[in-house]
Amino acid sequence: MNKTIRILLAVIALAGNSFAQGKTYGTQISGLFAIPTGRFSESFSTGFGGFGAMFYDLETYARLTLSGGYTTWSVNNDGITQQYQERGGMGTINASGHIAAIPLIIGIQLITPGPMRMYGTLEGGLYLYSVDVSARITDELGNASDVPLDNSFRSEPAFVLGGGVLFPLQETTSLDVAARYHFVNNTDVSTSSASTNIGTSQYFSLSIGLNYSFPLPPE
């Protein structure tokens, strides 16, 4: 993990040196839907969130980005119940809670000429996770007990592939519509006492937002 952080800091330092050479810079703010896949979808439902970004155009076709955001997913109680039953859990289980992620990523976009511009993006960085999930288990005799399934804070390395379209609204403002797949390192937290596993993994996101560009004056 320390190696990942050092690499990320080195890339950010390099980006900072490149920013000064850019001809255009700007900001973006977007809202998104986050759809879990794989093991992630067994424990959590579709999430919601948003992110903000800064960008610099290194060339007319290449854009450097730095972004951060916040996304939260609620517990998928049906998925938790299915896990519990498949692992031989007795009685019933009612799970509650959520997981929140703060992605901190840097990336590169390859972008077509305008006025409507399409782009592909490759990003990488760290995802900070805060998980708070518990369950009430009721046995066959009606006795209920509260069981913590996961209560932790951790970080995971990730990279992101995606693409989008910039629809011009004004000379310096565009509507950004994008889709991304987030390849986040898999993490499973075993909770054998409750016959379930809470896991974080990969997910797919759809976002829409506003993109503002601010051309620098000629040197």
Residue 128 has pLDDT above 70, yes or no: yes
Q: Is 6 exposed, middle or buried (0-12, 13-18, 19+ CB in 10 A)?
A: exposed
**Do 184 and 156 meet the contact criterion of CB atoms below 8 Å apart?**
yes
**Element of type H or E holding 5:** helix 2-19
Helix, strand, coil percent values for the chain (each to nearest 5): 15, 65, 20
Residue 124 — very low, low, confident or very high, per pLDDT cuts 50/70/90? Answer: very high
Instruction: State how far Cα 68 lies from the chain centre.
Output: 9
Residue 140 has pLDDT above 80, yes or no: no
Residue 9 — very low, low, confident or very high, per pLDDT cuts 50/70/90? Answer: very low
- Greater pLDDT, 1 or 217: 217
Residue 112 has pLDDT above 60, yes or no: yes
**pLDDT on residue 3:** 52
Residues 6+ apart with CB under 8 A from 2: none
Residue 48 — very low, low, confident or very high, per pLDDT cuts 50/70/90? Answer: very high
Whole-angstrom Cα distance, residue 52 to residue 31?
A: 9
Whole-angstrom Cα distance, residue 195 to residue 153?
A: 22
Neighbours of 149 (CB within 10 A): 23
How much is the mean pLDDT over the chain?
A: 83
Q: Which of 102, 161, 100, 152 is nearest to 126 (CA)?
A: 102
Residue 136 has pLDDT above 80, yes or no: yes
Whole-angstrom Cα distance, residue 44 to residue 52?
A: 24
**Do 204 and 37 meet the contact criterion of CB atoms below 8 Å apart?**
yes
Which of 28-32, 129-133, 184-188, 211-215 has the least mean pLDDT? Answer: 184-188
Q: What is the mean pLDDT of residues 144-164?
A: 86
pLDDT tens per residue, range 175-205: 999 999 999 987 665 444 554 556 667 999 9
Neighbours of 34 (CB within 10 A): 23
Q: What is the mean pLDDT of residues 146-157?
A: 81
- Greater pLDDT, 148 or 158: 158
**pLDDT on residue 79:** 83
pLDDT tens per residue, range 64-96: 999 999 999 998 888 888 877 777 777 788 888
Per CATH, which fold does 2-74+100-123+154-186+200-215 belong to?
Answer: Porin (2.40.160)
**pLDDT on residue 72:** 96
- Residue 139: helix, strand or coil by DSSP? coil
Residue 168 — very low, low, confident or very high, per pLDDT cuts 50/70/90? Answer: very high
Q: What is the mean pLDDT of residues 215-219?
A: 64
